Amino acid sequence: MSDSLTVHLGQRSYPITFGASLTVAVRAQVAALSAEGRQLAVVTDAQVARVQAETLRAWFGPVPVLPVAAGETSKSLETLGQVWDFLAEHKIGRSDAVFAVGGGVIGDLAGFAAASYLRGIVCYQVPTTLLAMVDSSVGGKTGINLKAGKNLVGAFHQPGGVFVSTDLLTTLPPREFAAGCAEVIKAGLLGDLELFDRLARRSLTVASADLAAVIRRCCALKARVVEVDEFETAREGGRALLNLGHTFGHAIEQVTGYGTYLHGEAVAIGLCAAARLSQKLGLISAAEVARVEAVVSAHGLPVCLRTPLPLAELTSAMARDKKVRAGRLRFVLLKSLGEAVTRDDIDPALAEACFREVGAV
């Protein structure tokens, strides 16, 4: 059994298909494309290629597969070049398609390769991690990292479709599942108080009876946001709200070289820092900050840095963030639990104080 929801973007609209196992749905998509004479290619990572080898064969048969190194460091110019060369080697043309099978790194990398190869070919997203299922596979943001910062090169490139097969999560390492929970918590904080309250009552686990419903709820929330601000051009609010926790989190990732913290772990610390900043601005109470931190901690995520990081390096990384506009950094804050706002008038000293409170020195 499967169901779907549509991201409504006019000619760029696409379905998100949900199910415990989507072998039938993915094979049907592959067969339909092949029947039209389209060539296909799969980009995944080495870990997924090993753990999900039988699934990949069942879904794609003889379609060529490129496994890249697992981890954030693959969101690089070097690996992007490998994907381009792979597509060219297999004579992928303008009417052909790529399937991105993996976590957020693979979705971003393969999505950007598809956006730029031959000036744009179709990419289907098949997320294999909780984080990718609830967030990065939906919305069309693709990109790679530079030494100067995260996601500084990329493109908006909506997928041809998204396939969320929750059975894939049974082999996901616990740390990776926890990292995905950070994006679920974020979704609740920025626009779904009922979801946040549910997470506060009991932690989300791979065995949760409502796991599929929670994933679908997060996708529906993101779809609504993307539909009204696809290219993140709104002067206030809009798609930028989805960056709650990320301004702090991206700085942590950049300073630690994209290897110490998983993306969701850095975002978790960022959520706690953003909550503290919101409290300093009088938007939420200290008790609400404590509630945010309690939910983050209950999901096996850090609320502060494991080891101290230099404040100067963190603030420098933050200043290079792609959310800087006209020299002013835009923060996403909590107007209340379940409602977020954007602000670009924040005293840098307040942000620095929040970084110190989560472990910067």
Residue 309 is predicted with a pLDDT of 98
- Based on the residue annotation, tell me whether 299 is a catalytic residue of this protein: no
In the chain the domains, ranked by start, together with CATH numbers, are 2-171 (3.40.50.1970), 174-203+229-357 (1.20.1090.10)
Which candidate in 75, 141, 280, 299 is catalytic? Answer: 141
pLDDT tens, residue by residue, 13-46: 999 999 999 999 999 999 999 999 999 999 999 9
Provide mean pLDDT across the span 222-231. 98
Q: Which of 157, 198, 217, 263 is catalytic?
A: 263
Q: Specify whether 183 is catalytic.
A: yes
- What pairing do the DSSP bridges indicate for beta strands 331-336 and 122-127? unpaired
List own/partner pairs for 222-227 with CB under 8 A and 24 or more apart: 222/134, 222/135, 222/138, 222/139, 222/187, 223/5, 223/6, 223/7, 223/8, 223/16, 223/138, 223/139, 225/191, 226/7, 226/9, 226/138, 226/139, 226/140, 227/7, 227/8, 227/9
- The catalytic position among 36, 78, 89, 236 is 236
pLDDT of residue 320: 85
Is 141 among the catalytic positions? Answer: yes
One of 216, 217, 222, 280 is an active-site residue; which one?
Answer: 222
Tell me the average pLDDT across 249-260.
95
Average pLDDT, whole number, for the chain? 96
- In the prediction, which pLDDT does 267 show? 98
Rg of the chain over Cα atoms, rounded to whole angstroms, equals 20
Catalytic residue among 239, 280, 299, 323: 239
User: How does pLDDT run across 122-161, given as a tens digit for each residue?
Assistant: 999 999 999 999 999 999 999 999 988 999 999 999 999 9
Task: Verify whether residue 222 is a known catalytic residue.
Answer: yes
Catalytic residue, from 183, 232, 265, 293: name it: 183
Tell me the per-residue pLDDT of 302-335, one tens digit each, with 9 for 90 and over.
999 999 999 999 999 998 887 777 678 999 999 9
Residue 90 a catalytic site member: no
Give the contacts of 60 (CB within 8 A, at least 6 positions apart): 26, 30, 40, 42, 99
Query: In the predicted model, is pLDDT for residue 276 greater than 70?
Result: yes
pTM as predicted:
0.97
Residue 246 annotated among the catalytic residues of the structure:
yes
